[in-house]
């Protein structure tokens, strides 16, 4: 365990939140909820969506930075965190989970959804299917590749290995790794999210995620087709050192969208950019959202 924990991180974790759940398609969906710092004002909703193999607590140390202007929720998608598993997963069902959390939290049609990596894919689908219930979406290092993209490996193959069971929490926690692999100097963040990634079973400790999710997942249509169909506001934040989000991909997405869509690169950040550069990510997202609050969308919401 790291001994150095910065003050901003400790203060963020001290911010009260609620554990909530809503049933979607017969499965309990867990989420974290932070009310606005000014409870007398009805403020817009902000929903954070985690990536593959992750969970809602990837956002716990970031959510408090947005409470001056938003009510905030962070979802555990089905098959992740403290939500239930499904026999079959679809993008449409995941999108329904996101919008159901927004509704259960009392958010209105000025809600903004922010999704990282695989969560960006779900966020895109949510924006496509539930446009009338949203103000906009933000894709965080969630690359939409051209149809002729040359894959180095099968994109439908799960990056998650079969789960193991460990005798102790400490033994399991010591095995926590980021997927896809990358360096991260903020060990205090890894310690925190790693601790919330585990659950105790009769045989010991194991990871919370459903390691068979990709075998039971219907990918549906291609993301590049859906990106072009989006009618809500869109923002893109990515790590400048992310090997999953190259400049060619950024240029392609910019061409599919239009000049009204902000693309923000975070220097010295890889794919898990808000673990690498959490405060830079907060600044980028807050700036993007502030601009949206004080401007009219150029993209037609029709």
The pLDDT, as a whole number, for residue 222 is 76
The pLDDT, as a whole number, for residue 146 is 84
The pLDDT, as a whole number, for residue 298 is 65
- Collect all residues with Cβ–Cβ distance below 8 Å to 220 and sequence separation of at least 6: 90, 91, 92, 125
CB atoms within 10 A of CB 52: 21
What 3-state DSSP class applies to 282? helix
Could you tell me if 135 and 108 are in contact, meaning their C-beta atoms sit under 8 angstroms apart?
no
Q: Give the separation between CA 95 and CA 126, rounded to whole angstroms.
A: 5
The pLDDT, as a whole number, for residue 3 is 63
Strands (E), the chain: 18-24, 27-34, 45-49, 71-75, 111-116, 134-140, 198-200, 205-207, 233-239, 263-266
The pLDDT, as a whole number, for residue 40 is 55
What 3-state DSSP class applies to 194? helix
What 3-state DSSP class applies to 302? coil
> Angle CA(193)–CA(289)–CA(90) in degrees, nearest 5?
55
pTM of the model: 0.94
Residues of the chain with pLDDT under 70: 1-3, 37-41, 149-160, 220-221, 298-302
Pairing of strands 134-140, 233-239: parallel
What 3-state DSSP class applies to 293? helix
In the sheet that 18-24 helps form, which strands lie side by side, from edge to edge?
Answer: 18-24, 27-34, 71-75, 45-49, 111-116, 134-140, 233-239, 263-266
Q: Torsions phi, psi of 206, nearest 5? A: -145, 175
Question: Going from the N-terminus, what domains does the chain have, and what CATH number goes with each?
Answer: 16-146+222-293 (3.40.50.1820)
């Amino acid at each position: 365990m790291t001994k150095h924990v910065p003050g901003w991180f400790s203060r963020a974790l001290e911010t009260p939140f609620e554990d909530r759940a809503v049933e979607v398609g017969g499965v309990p969906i867990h989420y974290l909820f932070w009310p606005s710092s000014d409870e007398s004002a009805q403020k817009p909703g902000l929903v954070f969506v985690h990536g593959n193999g992750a969970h809602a607590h990837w956002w716990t140390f970031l959510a408090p930075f947005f409470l001056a202007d938003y009510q905030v929720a962070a979802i555990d998608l089905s098959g992740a965190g403290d939500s239930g598993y499904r026999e079959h997963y679809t993008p449409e069902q995941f999108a329904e989970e996101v919008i159901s959390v927004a509704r259960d939290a009392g958010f209105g049609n000025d809600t903004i959804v922010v999704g990282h990596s695989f969560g960006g894919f779900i966020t895109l689908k949510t924006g496509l299917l539930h446009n009338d219930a949203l103000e906009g979406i933000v894709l965080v290092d969630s690359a939409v590749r051209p149809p002729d993209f040359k894959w180095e490996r099968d994109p439908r193959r799960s990056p998650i290995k079969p789960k193991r069971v460990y005798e102790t929490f400490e033994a399991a926690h010591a095995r926590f790794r980021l997927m896809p692999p990358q360096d991260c100097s903020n060990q205090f963040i890894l310690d925190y999210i790693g601790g919330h990634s585990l659950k105790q079973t009769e045989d010991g400790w194991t990871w919370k995620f459903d390691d068979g999710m990709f075998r039971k997942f219907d990918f549906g249509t291609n993301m590049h087709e859906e990106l072009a169909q989006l009618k809500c506001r869109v923002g893109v934040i990515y790590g400048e050192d992310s090997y999953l989000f190259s400049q060619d991909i950024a240029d392609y997405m910019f061409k599919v969208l239009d000049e009204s869509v902000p693309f923000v690169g975070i220097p010295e950040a890889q794919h898990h950019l808000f673990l690498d550069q959490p405060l830079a990510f907060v600044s980028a997202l807050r700036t993007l959202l502030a601009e949206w609050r004080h401007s009219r969308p150029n993209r037609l919401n029709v």
